[in-house]
């Protein structure tokens, strides 16, 4: 087979370029298009015609211009320096690009993904003479206050450590030499990985531990796990981005990869300005110290948007392979799907539902399949997790559309946002009647063991009250509240308290923005305690109106602001409830 | 670059022409189209395949015959010549002066598509703009660099509101340079006249730039209009340090032009026949609002769109809402009640409100008053609905108070004169007067010290 390193453009239609004469080029190989050398990737081959999606604006490209092969699939650079970075969809460092090229992203802008001017200190873990295989830890680099970066033996490398020592230098510094079958191999702190190919793991396990988020409605009622998958669909303005930001801030993951995929520029700015200021609740260090950002905003080239999700997940897998718990948020997977649709349309593929390509479902499924609780590659059998949370932006807020439906077929947690709740300024606007988590059982067990033995019972009872409220509400609409029997009115009161004093959580309030699991339990059980006290009192003849206006209710409504280090106040509060009810009985 | 001329038009389909036998043509190139009678049109290359180019004709193809046109490829994208003297001028939708002024001598030529702003270079919008309209300033505050659309309907007074904002908008600081850019897409002559006269009457024309494409002007030209306007905006904001307010009206007509091209290209349509890339296309307009770190100026966008059948889930408002930072929704029922400006308060939202208000920006109690007014009005409206079903007698005493509040709120807070320029203090004062209709114990969203300080005691 003859191969060619250079071909020629024959067609340009927006981000799609068709070239000829690239014999030997493979699917998903990277190419450089035109005199401007724009980045592109081969996404279809028909005879001698190679369809290329181009990651930059194609104005000025035309037939006859050259196309250069690179021989490599679209890949990311992995190594120290990833944390605190902000990349575009094809891992160009936006801060460096801004410094070099100015405020606008111009075509052909280029800068290495990992900063070569950063000096790292490598501390060996493996010793000379050790036999090492892919995934084994060669040594560590302290990347940020929160992250110890583990340098792993790259995939496909196996042998005996011939040389290794403590060194300082940039990522290209040789840190070890491995004697392999094919001779000595020098290893540096950086490796590359093709983004469309999942990084291998030794074994997949079912998720076992909760990924706590500090968001009461999520952790208590619709919990997520480390290694699990979740989606956040909702119409515009219902709070998807705020939920994703809250997770990026407060989830108990070691590493957070946040992918802004086809959304607003200002939202990325918001993260960039806020995260260095916010402190991780456990370590007290700035949240930015564990965060990688991928920003391919809506106005940036659409093909790079398609790639951004893969770039993000490959970086996330890399940290998972070190044995960390990693959480990736993608806002929004609908924009990613739309990018696929646009490329598919330009390729003149047979459209499936609503113009989306027929393989939409498969692509979405294979994205979420890259999550998991895993035994990593490497002989120490360490455990790593990768949790995926995707926002979905259905047109008109209609959940029956293809992207929501394809997503629901694969994810285990559904946080359905509701614009009615958002209009009523009930945030987070997660509909507690339609949302679900298939990890409920796993998390119940964990929570009963770790937080409080009554966790699952409290949760179940509270949810039952909310569901009963929904039924009664129908009735209230017909006959009015006053016509309800007294015990139902108590239930309505308890439900209202659960909604307003527990579920409602202001993301922008310094105290309310995060609630620990233990505090969540206290808060909810205090509300239930009220309900448990007033019901018998009603039976014993205490007037309903007195029970509905118990002075302590005022305090319960502010209990969400009780500081995390003063949780004993909840005991006092519960006592107060009992006392006030007792006083009415006397 | 050499320019190339061809007389080889083979097909004309809708607003598109197919030209054969071309060479060295590139995607996005601008073309001059000369008819044999000497008239000129403009086009842009949408696709080039080997020796064939598809060109979109901005003035439309009506009257064109394949044999009767010469197409000249200009070897560059669509550009606009800009200069500081552009203020006070009126242009057509393609950037050609239509007032009696002299030609613009460009300081530079800029590609109207611009480049995407690096998210890293953005500065977060947080400076409050006082529009003098209570429902915006107090409840849905606009900040510099924000994109906040009006979702309107046909026959509603969005133009009057947009003109009022253009007239009254100011920042609570003085001495800064500002400009208004006003771009129309397919609106009627009368509406456009209304704006121009309003600008002239108030002297605003001197610091304005107008791009006018009317209902009977070429539809395809509407694709270029917002990009022309935003190119000037970027020039004035980031090179001349101005704070620029861009009013774009009516985006619905823009989207229809886009649909027309998409249909002519036989693309697989998305919802309601609009192209699947409508979201991305709109974002290349809306995302040009913003601020840049280290630059003085800013671009604030006020796009206006009319929702077909007042339907918020129609693709145009829907996709707009997914990109903009909130929305001001106009209500037909308030309009029918004779209330101007008929802002539908409950579903309206400014997403950047939190960063632009409070101590040092507006007033300490702003956020609290906003939340309380909102909650009280929501409750009042609910109570009114309940009263419709069950009768007033079914309402509790407190609910009746809320009904009274809701009515007063619409009448005194929402309603205001077209020339009534309320300061934020005025708006807050009216807000407190209305909250005074409710007992203090109901004001759960206001901090006690603010109730102490502002609650009207002697009513
Ligand atoms: N938990 C919350 N606490 C307080 N306010 C909230 C919360 N969630 C959402 N909001 C409010 O709702 C607004 C819209 O939320 P957000 O931007 O997350 O919506 P979205 O679903 O991402 O919309 P889009 O699809 O247009 O991006 C926010 O600007 C904020 O005012
Ligand atoms: Mg969002």
Average confidence (pLDDT) over B319-323: 93
Q: Mean pLDDT across the stretch B207-221?
A: 91
How far, in Å, CA of B137 to CA of B141, rounded?
A: 5
Nearest C-alpha in B relative to A104: B117
Mean pLDDT of B388-397: 82
A355 lines ligand 1 (CB under 6 A): no
The confidence score (pLDDT) of residue A56 equals 86
Amino acid B444: pLDDT: 83
* B102 shares contact with chain A (CB less than 8 Å): no
Asked if B203 is an interface residue toward chain A (Cβ–Cβ < 8 A), one would say no
Taking residue A283's Cβ as centre, other Cβ atoms within 10 Å add up to 12
* Residue whose tokens read 């009013």: B247
What is the rounded distance in angstroms from the CA atom of residue B124 to the CA atom of residue A331?
A: 19
CA torsion sign, B32 to B35 to B39 to B43?
Answer: negative
A507 lines ligand 1 (CB under 6 A): yes
| Segments of chain A with pLDDT less than 50 | none
* Nearest CA-CA distance, residue B18 and chain A, Å: 14
Partner-chain contact B26 A60, CB within 8 Å: yes
Contact at CB, A236 and B292, closer than 8 angstroms: no
Task: Find tokens 């490599």 and name the residue.
Answer: A72
Q: Tell me how far apart the terminal alpha carbons of chain A are, to the nearest angstrom.
A: 97
B326 to chain A: nearest residue by CA?
A237
- pLDDT tens-place string over residues A68-119: 999 999 999 999 999 999 999 999 999 999 999 999 998 888 899 999 999 9
Q: What is the pLDDT of residue A504?
A: 94
Cα angle B125, B128, B129 (rounded to 5 degrees) comes to 110
Report helix, strand or coil for A218: helix
C-alpha separations of A340 from A16, A59, A195 in Å = 12, 21, 16
Whole-model pTM? 0.93
pLDDT band, very low/low/confident/very high, at B2 (cuts 50, 70, 90) = low
Q: List the Cα angle B173/B177/B180 in 5-degree steps.
A: 110
Whether A298 and B24 lie within 8 Å, measured CB to CB: no
For residues A118 and B136, give the distance between their C-alpha atoms in angstroms, rounded to a whole number: 48
Q: Is A241 in the pocket of ligand 1 (CB under 6 A)?
A: yes
Task: Count Cα neighbours of A441 within 13 Å in the Cβ-side half-sphere.
Answer: 3
Position B108 pLDDT exceeds 80: yes
User: What are phi and psi for residue B233, nearest 5 degrees?
Assistant: -60, -45
Higher pLDDT, B71 or B386: B71
Cα of A203 to nearest chain B Cα, Å: 38
Mean pLDDT of B336-359: 93
CA atoms within 13 A on the CB side of B203: 1
Residue among A241, A298, A392 to mutate when testing ligand 1 (max atoms within 8 A of CB):
A241
Nearest to B116, CA basis, from B243, B290, B298, B326: B290
Q: Say whether residue B327 is in contact with chain A using an 8 A CB cutoff.
A: yes
Write phi, then psi, for A534 (nearest 5 degrees). -80, -30
Distance A236 CA to ligand 2 centre (A): 7
Q: DSSP E strands: which ranges in B250-366?
A: 290-292, 298-306, 326-329, 349-350
Extract the tokens encoding A380.
């120490």
Whole-angstrom distance, CA of residue A176 vs CA of residue A163: 5
Question: Ligand 1 centroid to A245 CA: how many Å?
Answer: 10
Residue A66: count of CB within 10 angstroms of its CB = 15
Whole-complex ipTM = 0.90
CB contact under 8 A, B354 and A508: yes
Question: 3-state class of B80 per DSSP?
Answer: strand
Cβ–Cβ contact B290 with A under 8 A? yes
Residue B124 and residue A269 in contact, taking contact as beta carbons nearer than 8 Å: yes
Chain B residues near residue A8 by CB distance under 8 angstroms: none
Mean of pLDDT values over B163-188: 87
Q: Is A32 in the pocket of ligand 1 (CB under 6 A)?
A: no
For residue A331, report the distance from its CA to the centre of ligand 2, in Å.
7
Angle at B434 between CA B429 and CA B436, to 5 degrees: 95
Instruction: Burial-class residue B94 by CB neighbours within 10 Å (0-12, 13-18, 19+).
Output: buried
Q: Minimum-distance ligand to the CA of A424?
A: 1
Decide if B118 and A104 are in contact by the 8 Å CB cutoff: yes
Q: What percent helix, strand, coil does chain A show, rounded to 5?
A: 35, 25, 40
Q: Which atom of ligand 1 lies at the shortest distance from residue A393's CA?
A: 25
CA of A242 relative to ligand 1 center, distance in Å: 5
Nearest ligand 1 atom to the CA of B354 is 31
Pairing of strands A291-296, A255-261: parallel
pLDDT: which is higher, A53 or B413: B413
CA of A415 to the centre of ligand 1 (A): 14
d(CA B168, CA B423): 10
pLDDT for B459 equals 46
Closest CA in chain A for residue B314: A396
For A148-162, give one letter per residue: b (16+ CB within 10 A) or e. ebbbbbbbebebebe
Return the residue whose CA atom lies nearest to atom 8 of ligand 1.
A239
A103: nearest CB among B24, B117, B346? B117
Nearest atom in ligand 1 to the alpha carbon of residue A242 is 18
Q: How high is the mean pLDDT of chain B?
A: 92
A298 to B323: CB separation less than 8 angstroms, yes or no = yes
Instruction: Kindly list the distances between the CA atom of residue B140 and the CA atoms of A49, A318, A507, B332, B367, in Å, as whole numbers in the listed order.
Output: 53, 43, 18, 19, 11
Question: What pLDDT was estimated at residue B458?
Answer: 54
């Amino acid at each position: 087979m003859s191969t060619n390193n250079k071909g020629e453009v024959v067609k340009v239609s927006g981000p799609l370029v068709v070239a000829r004469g690239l014999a030997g080029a493979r699917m998903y190989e990277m190419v450089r298009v035109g005199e401007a050398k724009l980045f592109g990737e081969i996404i279809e081959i028909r005879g001698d015609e190679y369809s290329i999606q181009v990651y930059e604006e194609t104005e000025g490209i035309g037939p006859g211009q050259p196309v250069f092969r690179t021989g490599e699939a679209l890949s990311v650079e992995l190594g120290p320096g990833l944390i605190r970075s902000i990349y575009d969809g094809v891992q160009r460092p936006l801060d460096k690009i801004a410094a070099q090229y100015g405020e606008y992203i111009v075509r052909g802008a280029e800068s290495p993904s990992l900063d070569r001017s950063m000096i790292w200190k490598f501390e060996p873990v493996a010793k000379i003479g050790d036999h090492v295989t892919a995934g084994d830890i060669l040594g560590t680099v302290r990347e940020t206050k929160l992250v110890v970066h583990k340098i792993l033996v790259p995939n496909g490398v196996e042998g005996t450590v011939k040389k290794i020592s403590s060194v300082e230098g940039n990522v290209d510094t040789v840190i070890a030499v491995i004697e392999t079958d094919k001779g000595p191999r020098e290893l540096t702190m950086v490796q590359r990985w093709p983004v469309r190919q999942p990084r291998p793991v030794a074994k997949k396990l079912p998720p076992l531990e909760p990924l706590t988020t500090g968001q009461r409605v999520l952790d208590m009622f619709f919990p997520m796990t480390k290694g699990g998958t979740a989606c956040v669909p909702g119409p515009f303005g219902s709070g998807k981005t705020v939920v994703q930001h809250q997770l990026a801030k407060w989830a108990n993951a070691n590493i957070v990869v946040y992918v802004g995929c086809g959304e607003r520029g200002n939202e990325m700015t918001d993260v960039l300005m806020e995260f260095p200021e916010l402190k991780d609740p456990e370590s007290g260090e700035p949240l930015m110290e564990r965060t990688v950002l991928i920003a391919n905003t809506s106005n940036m080239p659409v093909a790079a948007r398609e790639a951004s999700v893969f770039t993000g997940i490959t970086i996330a897998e890399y940290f998972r392979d070190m044995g960390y718990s990693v959480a990736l948020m993608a806002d929004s997977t609908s924009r990613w799907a739309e990018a696929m649709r646009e490329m598919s349309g330009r390729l003149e593929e047979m459209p499936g539902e609503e113009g989306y390509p027929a393989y939409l479902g498969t692509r979405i499924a294979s994205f979420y399949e890259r999550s998991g609780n895993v035994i990593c590659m490497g002989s120490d059998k360490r455990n790593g997790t990768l949790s995926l949370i995707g926002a979905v932006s259905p047109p008109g807020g209609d959940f029956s559309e293809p992207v929501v439906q394809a997503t629901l077929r694969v994810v285990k947690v559904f946080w359905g946002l509701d614009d009615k709740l958002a209009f009523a300024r009930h945030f987070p606007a997660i509909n507690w009647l339609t949302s679900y988590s298939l990890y409920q059982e796993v998390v119940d067990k964990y929570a009963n063991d770790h937080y409080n033995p009554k966790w699952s019972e409290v949760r179940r009872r509270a949810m039952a009250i909310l569901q009963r409220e929904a039924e009664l509400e129908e009735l209230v609409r017909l006959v009015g509240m006053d016509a309800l029997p007294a015990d139902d009115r108590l239930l309505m009161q308890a439900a209202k308290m659960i909604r307003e004093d527990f579920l409602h959580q202001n993301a922008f309030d310094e105290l309310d923005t995060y609630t620990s699991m233990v505090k969540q339990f206290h808060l909810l059980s205090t509300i239930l305690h009220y309900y448990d006290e007033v019901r018998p009192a009603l039976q014993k003849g205490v007037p309903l109106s007195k029970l509905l206006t118990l002075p302590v209710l005022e305090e319960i409504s502010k209990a969400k602001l009780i500081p995390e280090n003063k949780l004993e106040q909840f005991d006092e509060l519960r006592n107060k409830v009992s006392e006030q009810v007792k006083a009415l009985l006397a | 670059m050499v320019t190339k001329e061809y007389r080889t038009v083979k097909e004309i389909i809708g607003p598109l022409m197919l030209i054969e036998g071309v060479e060295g043509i590139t995607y996005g190139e601008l073309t001059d189209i000369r008819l044999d009678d000497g008239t000129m049109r403009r086009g842009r290359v949408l696709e080039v395949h080997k020796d064939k180019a598809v060109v979109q004709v901005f003035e439309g193809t009506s009257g064109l015959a394949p044999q009767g046109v010469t197409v000249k490829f200009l070897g560059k994208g669509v550009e606009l010549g800009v200069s500081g003297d552009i203020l006070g001028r009126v242009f057509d939708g393609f950037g050609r002066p239509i007032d009696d002024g002299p030609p613009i001598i460009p300081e530079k030529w800029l590609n109207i598509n611009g480049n995407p702003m690096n998210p890293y270079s953005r500065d977060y919008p947080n400076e409050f703009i006082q529009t003098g309209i209570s429902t915006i300033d107090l409840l849905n505050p606009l900040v510099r660099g924000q994109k906040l659309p009006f979702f309107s309907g046909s026959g509603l007074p969005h133009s009057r509101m947009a003109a009022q904002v253009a007239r009254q908008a100011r920042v609570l600081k003085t001495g800064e340079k500002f400009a208004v850019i006003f771009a129309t897409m397919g609106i009627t002559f009368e509406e456009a006249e209304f704006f121009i006269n309003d600008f002239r009457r108030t002297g605003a024309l001197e610091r304005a730039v107008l791009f006018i494409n009317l209902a009977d002007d070429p539809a395809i030209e509407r694709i270029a209009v917002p990009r022309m306007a935003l190119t000037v905006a970027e020039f004035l904001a980031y090179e001349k340090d101005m704070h620029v307010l861009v009013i774009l009206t009516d985006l619905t007509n823009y989207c229809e032009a886009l649909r027309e091209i998409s249909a002519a290209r036989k693309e697989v349509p998305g919802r309601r026949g609009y192209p699947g890339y409508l979201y991305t296309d709109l974002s290349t307009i809306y995302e040009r609002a913003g601020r840049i770190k280290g630059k003085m100026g800013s671009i604030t966008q006020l796009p206006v769109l009319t929702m077909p059948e007042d339907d918020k889930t129609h693709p145009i408002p829907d996709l707009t809402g997914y990109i903009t930072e909130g929305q001001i929704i106009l209500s037909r029922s308030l309009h029918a009640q004779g209330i101007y400006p008929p802002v539908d308060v409950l579903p309206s939202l400014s997403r950047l409100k939190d960063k632009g208000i409070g101590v040092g920006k507006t007033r300490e109690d702003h956020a609290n008053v906003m939340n309380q007014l909102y909650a009280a009005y929501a409750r009042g409206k609910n109570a009114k609905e309940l009263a419709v079903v069950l009768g007033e007698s079914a309402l509790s005493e407190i609910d009746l108070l809320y009904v009274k509040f809701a009515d007063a709120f619409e009448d005194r807070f929402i309603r205001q004169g077209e020339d009534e320029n309320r300061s934020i203090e005025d708006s807050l004062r009216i807000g407190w007067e209305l909250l005074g209709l409710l007992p203090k114990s109901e004001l759960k969203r206001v901090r006690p010290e603010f109730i102490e300080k502002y609650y009207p005691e002697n009513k």
